[in-house]
Homo-oligomer: A and B are copies of this chain.
């Protein structure tokens, strides 16, 4: 039957539906990323499809490297679609620049590391290219 998944989802169901860690859901609630969900008579959290969509949004944003602070901003724009698209664009563009800077950094690191490893003899020698590369400022 499984029509439970259409409406009343338990926390573990939300976790499974989104791939989010169980504890992280509660964490997102305490930090205001996810809303306080309605509760059953016994105090159990009860989620629906809107929660699934929102949490997927959050997880996708996290996956793209947005901070929770940035996601809070994006969610505000999602919650109030009367805001301008330009604001969203600005956040995304700033983030894009961050990502590009990180790629540049890592590419430099990658070059240094691969060059260094290539110089390694693998011997039990007293000198070592990796150590030497790290020691030379």
**A residues with CB within 8 A of B:** 53, 56-57, 60-61, 63-65, 74, 77-78, 81-82, 84-86, 88-89, 91-93, 95-96, 99-100, 102-103, 106-107, 109-110, 112-114, 116-117, 120-131, 134-135, 137
Closest to A84 in B: B124
Instruction: Determine the main DSSP class of A at the interface with B.
Output: helix
Determine if B134 and A74 form an interchain contact, defined as CB atoms under 8 angstroms apart. yes
Distance in angstroms from A58 CB to nearest chain B CB is 9
A117 vs B26: C-alpha distance in the bound complex, in angstroms?
A: 32
Q: Which chain B residues lie closer than 8 Å to A82 at the CB level?
A: 126
CB within 8 A of A131: which of B64, B74, B107, B122? B74
